[in-house]
Amino acid sequence: MNADSGVPLMDLDDYSGQAAMIRMLRAHEGTGYDRGAAVRLLAEFPNPDREILFEVVLTDPDSTARSEATHTLLTLVGLDEEVIWGETLLNISGRLLSTLTTVRVPAMAELRDIIARWEAGAAAEDLGLTWRSNNKAIHKLVDSIDSAKPNLSTHGLDEVTGRERVHVENLVLLRLDTDRRAVRAAGTLLVYRAVEPLRELHATAEGHARAEIESVLDVLTG
């Protein structure tokens, strides 16, 4: 089914297209872009099935579809764009794009909790959705992620505690599958939450990358 076929069905008040799009999303038919378009159309139906959106976020093999489903969910519950693009939700969204199930599952739990509490009446501020770090060491870490530096900036981060420490660990976790510098940073910063994701990553790693993961795992589990 082409996702665009949902448009005329909605114009005719024929909601049978909703079931067809759900089948498309669950069967992972078409490309990730097709499924992302289906997610956006699904959200236009009255009382859209949120559970299928959660399912796409967690299980779709394509990051484009997962990204669309995450943004659609946050929009459906009434969060504004400024909050959606804030540090907290961007970090969760980033981890939901990881190829590692052991990174996505905890991020999904956080997303569900935030949405449930938001709909129960909690303010964005109380949920930490407007929080921003002013820590210079964290800003240097973020800047180094998009740089060509051989290692991520970790100087000063061993002194970070509380919410900022969790934020740092999340930044490392969301890069584990795509950036070997994050693997090394997990060892340097003793990110124990990275143990299971590293084990998952190790299962398909080869050569020097595999050896590097093993070395970091030795540090974290030794």
pLDDT digits (tens, 9 = 90+) for 158-207: 999 999 999 999 999 999 999 999 999 999 999 999 999 999 999 999 99
CB atoms within 10 A of CB 207: 7
Mean per-residue pLDDT of the chain: 91
Percent of the chain residues topping a pLDDT of 70 = 93
Confidence of residue 2 (pLDDT cuts 50, 70, 90): low
Q: What is the pLDDT of residue 6?
A: 44
Q: Quick one: which of 48, 28, 38, 36 has its CA closest to 4?
A: 38
What's the pLDDT score for residue 12? 32
User: Could you read off the pLDDT of 8-64 as tens digits, one per residue?
Assistant: 434 434 445 888 889 999 999 999 999 999 999 999 988 888 999 999 999 999 999
